Structures are given as structure tokens and as C-alpha cells.
Structure 1
């Protein structure tokens, strides 16, 4: 109501009131009096309405200020959000977009607000995305929460995590969509690489040439590959119900059990070993097992991964080779023995000399800790080291008196003759060279070449000491046998001069500590 009307009504009411006071209530028409009372009541209501209106205007002003502040805050948050944000009309037209969303797609704000949601949606996902929008508008879902691809301005695409809420006004009417967009392209690429890596590992596991299995701490199979099934004749399901012991030869079960035990105690987490395995049909399989304990980042044991290579044919071949080698050794031994007997038949006075030298030389080599291969080469060389004497006339070999220079020169030539006899034979050891050098001395005073020190093979140095000891302690046509002490005294006095010190020390230990006897 207009303020002027209020004022006029107020003046009229006051004048009427003053008039009534002057004339008295009884002189006023009752009807007029009622009107006056009504006017007075209306005045009070108008005053109260005026005060209420003033308060509402004040509240409205505060509300307008709050709305302006809220809008300013929303605008600030919207624009500076670390993720993409937009306001989308119900027809999917972009009404407003923030800088982050523009940066993601490579568009300007003006370009994006002239476009609709389908314009930047990957075509493979459009139909599905529109169905999500339909369901949101119909109330089937409260909000959209999906991973989807948006098309960039340059034609590429980005992977995003999209969350969309439907905004309504105070009357409950739908007014627009509020999508929030997080760029997860790098995460998707990493996830894809991880998936591809896992797929490569799976393919490598399944298609490995060796049997591969994962085994728990109790020895039970967790996972097995195709080759494991081929190797043992079981299905995957059957093997997963079995333990390592179930497919291992009873006598070899301790091998895996000990490895698992030591690994779990932290002693050793890797091992390679060979053991016998059992096929479903009962056939024996030789396997070369390479096993490792896998732990998590805290060091807690997870499982064992084992690679099993079928070496059955290899083992059979090795056994066959070993059998053939054994036959060859026996045949070679027979040939060596025949050659030795040939020499001894020509020189009966030195009968058994080569055999005794061979045995002593072998014992010295063993005392020195040489390999089995070296010991064998020394023994065989000792058995025929004097084969070159076959070229020396028997009368010289058995002459009971002192030899002339010419006769001795013939004797000294026997290492070279022996070398020429043996050099073209394909021995497994340098027997020809050992035979050639067994009369050489470390100071260069020996024969036939006068070589010294490291030029002489160790096997030849051992053979030289054994030859001297046996020769001195044995009977010769020109003298009786000396005692073993005389022989040992000879090598002791010339230790480091004529004979290798280590060889002499080993020889003395063999006789004095281990009571070796020439026989």
C-alpha cells in the first residue's frame, strides 16, 4: 500500500479522534464510530506490515549478497579446478567449460561451447554413453561414473574418468548436467603395458620349451605349463593336485626337500640340480631342475618357480659315452701293457721297472692332489716311459759293466725314440711329451733337449723322481740294488737342483709317512 495513503488515513483518523473527544462518544453516530474503530485497527496492521516488509527487504539484500558470493566461489573453483569441468545443457550442448578441460582436448573455450557432447566422444563409445545419459535423466541411476575416451582437436584421443551429476532447480526441474573429467591416459597406457607384459609372461610360461611350475612351501603345484603336462603325461588339473614328491623318484626326493627347507630358512634361494622323475606311465625321466624362491617386497616367501629340462637322452648318451670310454681305457690299457711287456721282454733285467715307476708316480701325483685326469696320464706314461729302449741293442741294456760313451749315447736317445713312436697316437693325454721329458732336470742338465724349470711338464717332473727312486732301489746288471734310503737321500740332496721341490716333498711323505713300498 502507498505510503501517502497511509499518511492521509492517519491524519483523518487523528482528526476524527480529536472531534470525538470534544463532542463525546454519545453524540457520534454508531456507524461512524465503527468505521473509526476499523480505521484504527487498520492503522496498526499497516504499521506492522510496514515493519515486516522492511525486515524482508533486509533479508533479501543479505540473500542477494550470499548468492553473489556463492556464484563467485563456484566460478573460482570451476575455473581453477585441477580436473576438467563443464556445464552441459540437457540437449548436450556445452554451456560452460573450464581451462583444464580445454587444455585436455586442445580446444578454446569458444570452440568447445559451440559443440555438443557427441562431437568429442569416441565413436565406439557414443551409443553406450548416450544410454548412460538416458538412464541418468530417467532417474534409473543417481550419477554417471565411467571411463571413456574423448577425441582431441588434433585427432588423437585421451582416456578419462568421467563423473556426471544431473542438476535440478529449487522446484525439482532438470536444468543441466555437471560433468567432472579426470585425464587417466598415462594410467591407461601403464595399465595396458602391464596387461601386455603379463600376457607376454603368460605366453612365455605356457609355450616354454622346458616344464615350468609354481610350487608352494609344501611342495604342492600351484600352476604348471603345457610342457609340464607333456613331460609327465598328466593334465594340468591332475598336476595341481600333486606335489613335487609325487613325480620324483623315491631315492631323489630328498634333493628338492632339502632345497625347500634351506631356502625357507634363508640359506639359499636358488639351486640347479639333476634328479630322476617319474612319468604317469612309470617311465623314468632325468630332469635338470633350476629352482628359485620368489619373495614379496617385505621378503615374505611366496612360492618357488622351477624350470625342468628333460635330459633323459643326454643322460643315456653320457652313460653310453662313459661305457665306451671305459672300454677304450681298457683297450688302451691293454695296448700300453703290451708295449710295456715288449720292452721288458727285450730287457729282462729291468722287468717290472716301468710298472713300478708307473705305480709310484701315480701315488706321488695323488699325494700332490692332482686331478684324476692328470693321475691317469702319469700312470699310463709311466707304464711305457722306456718304450724307446726297444731301439737299443739287448747286449747294451744287459751289459754288466760300465757303458762306453757311444753305448750311453744310444741309451740317452731312448726318450726321443719313444716320442717318435708315440707322437702320432691320439692319446687323451700328452703321453708322448711326458715320455720325451722324463730324463730332463730342472737345472737344464738332463736330456735329450736340456730344457729346464717351467719348460718341463709337471707330469714329466713326477715321472723323473719316480724313475730315479725305482732305479736306485732296484737291481741292475752292473750293480746290486741299493736301499730305499739311498734312493731317498739322492732326491733329498738334489731337491730344487735336479728335481722339483714339491714333487720330492710328496715322494718323501709317501715313503716316510705312508710307508709306501716298491713291489
Structure 2
């Protein structure tokens, strides 16, 4: 995270946004956040975020609990600062192990909304005034449709008079289907029934204005008895701006992941200027690794991390002399030991980068073997990452099926026999079986459909 610039993405958002790590310390803050905190970037970054804003001694409860959990993806906290009230909404990015990679928080001034809610809870004699003054749309409805509405309803739904609103079913001011694909008419009736049964019902809804334009809303239905009849009061709040802000945050997370992938691909290509063999080898290992993972039913997000690791699994060879890498003869013991250092060196290069996946450890372990005979740590069995186990099989197949400077190719059949012989001892048996099935009927690695033709 610390290696990237977020100004262009976040500073166009007029709400305060900041990013913190799993230790709750600020990694990034946009100008809106720095302004509301009355500070600058040099003073804020690296500090516990709640010490910067809202300038309190303890962390917001929901954020703290969500970050420390292994599954929560979001948090919501209300913050009181002097005479203002803010809603802090967090979106948590986790790795496959459930650990926090980073969290993005956005802060919304909800002082006015809180004021309105307080008024709504006031004495009964104020109800008429509140109905008229509320900035949220408030309407009454029964089983047939709307029976009354406040001025905000007409403004929000673009109606010139109550006659254009009262008497219609809620689905009249909704698209034919909701974002989840359900029919608006049937779903609206279901929401109404739930509210009548339970006393209330809160949910998000996609509404239409009178002119047909759509907007996202929060809806609260409250059932009560009036003149002996059970009716509903609906409060509708336009949340279009908030939804847009959420979409921008989600888009930013996706852009960050794409940036990480781009950097990995650039590094892999850069290695080609020094050693074209290694670059081609890494590309092929990545193709084979992904094909094995797909055959094993791995999810797309996990395969993405595997591919990035495979594309740079030999990055540590950047420290290996070129004359050793391209030596047209068998390597000496000393030279072989020098080459073997690449796995640990690759780890040291990558460990400072905060990828959503444990890329550095995958690279470090790709020469480990189940029986502990591998390097650099001599790990055994389950101590080896599944991604590293796949790369190990793919690496062996590609290396033996392709020509080396110091020996001719063993061919695809020879490479497959090698992993078949080592299955269960050196290599994971399930992964080996998937690889063998993958190349079933193939005679050449170069002609195999497993090897993609796209550039790194």
C-alpha cells in the first residue's frame, strides 16, 4: 500500500476517506480527511487514526472489533466531535487466511440526519411539524397504496402535487425489477407483509422518480394503528450519493489490485532484458500453475494470487551471475549452491510489498518438497503453502520439458514421469494427478494448449 499514490483517485471524492493497516495506523488520507482533522499528511500518516480524527483515546468500537475478527468485511461507527456527529463506514480487505490487508474508511457528516431522527422521537404534539419539515420522504400507506405524504416526498420523487403520488402502489415508483432481479411489485408486497407482521422492516430499495429516473434509497416501514386500522408509515431516504461513494471506494480497491498485477508483470518482463530464458520459464510455469489450480476447483481470486507468484517465482535469480544462468555445461557444486539462493533472495525482495496474497512466501517455498528435502528451509508436508506446492510441480514440468543451456530437454513425457515418480514423496499427489490429467494425450510442451500465447 505505501508504495502507491492515491491522490488522483481519492482527492476527487469530497467526503473524508482514509486507509489504515491491520495495526490501525494511517497509511493514506485524502484532502477532505486532512481538512476535517485540521492537520497535514506529514503529521497524520503513521499515527493511530482515531488520534488524528476524531481525536479520541480509544478506537471506535465496531471498527476495532471488525478489524480484529477473521471474517468481518465492514464496520459502522458513530463519532461525536464537538457539535457534529459523523458516521464512519469501513470496508476491510482480507487475504485468504482472513488477515487484514488494509481497511478503507469513509466519514459522513450525519448531524442533520441525527437531528431529524431526534425530532421524530419527540413528543406526539410535534409529529405534524416533523412530518412537514423532515428532509426525508415520509408517507402513509395501507394495503391499497399511499394515503398521504410530506413535502419532502414530493420533492424527492419529483411530483408537483399529492395527486401525483397518493393512491399509487409503491411499485408504481419503482423499476420493474430490483437490482437483485426480483419483481418490484411482488417484493414490495412481501416487504409490507413483513412490516405488518413484525411491526417494522428496514431495507434498501431502488425507486423511480415521476420522470422515470432511478435512485437508491433506505426505507423504514413502521406499522401502527390509526382509527382502528393497521397502517404503515414509510420513511424513504435518498442514499444515491452514499452509494456512489461506496462504488468509488470499491472501484479504488479493484484499481489497486490491478496496479499490483501490472507491477508484477512489469517486473517479470524486466527480467527478460537480463535473462530471456527465465522470463519465458516463469510465464510457462504461471500458465501451468493456473491450469492445475482451475482443475482443482480453486476460486478465481486465489488463482490470481497464484499466477502473480508464479510469474516472478525466480525473481531472486536477478542476483545470480548471468554466466552461471547461461552456462552451457553442468554447474559445479558451488555454482549450484549460488543458484539455490534465489528462493530466499526472492523472498527478501518481495516481503516488504503488501500484496493481498502471501506472494513472498509462495516464492520462497517453491523449491520445498513434502519430505523436507527441498530448500531453503527444508519444510515438510502441510508447512508448505498449497500455492508453492503447485508452483513446484509446474516448475519441475516446465524445467525438464524445456531445453536448458547445460542439457537437452527430457521432453514432456520425461518431465511428467519425474513428477509421477515423486508423487506423494516430493510432490503433492492431488496436484500431480491434476497435472497428469491436464497433459493427458499431449506430446510436447510447446504445442500444449496449457501454455498460453499471450504476453506476460
| TM-score of the aligned structures, taking structure 2 as reference length | 0.56
Find 1:232's aligned residue among 148, 152, 157.
157
**8 Å Cα contact 1:343-1:389 kept in structure 2:** no
Q: 1:223 to 1:501 in 2, by over 3 A?
A: farther
Aligned mates of 2:154, 2:244 — CA distance in 1: 22
- The Cα of 1:468 is off from its aligned counterpart by 1.8
Aligned positions of 1:425-504 closer than 5 A: 425-504=353-432
**8 Å Cα contact 1:386-1:435 kept in structure 2:** yes
Corresponding residue of 2:167: 241
Find 1:392's aligned residue among 296, 302, 320.
320
Corresponding residue of 2:209: 279
**8 Å Cα contact 1:469-1:487 kept in structure 2:** yes
Q: 1:287 to 1:264 in 2, by over 3 A?
A: closer
- The Cα of 1:449 is off from its aligned counterpart by 0.9
5+ residue gaps, structure 1 = 1-195, 295-301
Write out per-residue CA displacement over residues 145-176 of structure 1, whole angstroms, 9 at most, x where no aligned residue.
xxxxxxxxxxxxxxxxxxxxxxxxxxxxxxxx
Q: 1:240 to 1:281 in 2, by over 3 A?
A: same
Q: 1:214 to 1:410 in 2, by over 3 A?
A: farther
Write out per-residue CA displacement over residues 184-208 of structure 1, whole angstroms, 9 at most, x where no aligned residue.
xxxxxxxxxxxx9x979x89x9699
In proportion to residue count, which structure has more helix? 1
Q: 1:345 to 1:237 in 2, by over 3 A?
A: same
Matched, 1:419 2:352: no
5+ residue gaps, structure 2 = 1-120, 224-229, 443-447
Q: 1:264 to 1:352 in 2, by over 3 A?
A: same
2:407 is paired with a residue of what secondary structure?
A: coil
Aligned positions of 1:49-88 closer than 5 A: none
- The Cα of 1:288 is off from its aligned counterpart by 5.4
Matched, 1:409 2:331: no
2:330 is paired with a residue of what secondary structure?
A: coil
Write out per-residue CA displacement over residues 32-63 of structure 1, whole angstroms, 9 at most, x where no aligned residue.
xxxxxxxxxxxxxxxxxxxxxxxxxxxxxxxx
Matched, 1:337 2:270: no
- The Cα of 1:281 is off from its aligned counterpart by 5.9
| TM-score of the aligned structures, taking structure 1 as reference length | 0.50
Aligned mates of 1:216, 1:370 — CA distance in 2: 50
**Higher CA-based Rg:** 1
Aligned mates of 2:438, 2:134 — CA distance in 1: 55
Aligned mates of 2:152, 2:370 — CA distance in 1: 60
- The Cα of 1:233 is off from its aligned counterpart by 4.6
Matched, 1:373 2:298: no
**8 Å Cα contact 2:268-2:279 kept in structure 1:** no
Q: 1:249 to 1:383 in 2, by over 3 A?
A: same
Corresponding residue of 2:435: 507
1:399 is paired with a residue of what secondary structure?
A: coil
Q: 1:369 to 1:413 in 2, by over 3 A?
A: same
Aligned mates of 1:305, 1:490 — CA distance in 2: 72
Corresponding residue of 1:165: none
- Number of paired residues? 314
Corresponding residue of 2:450: 517
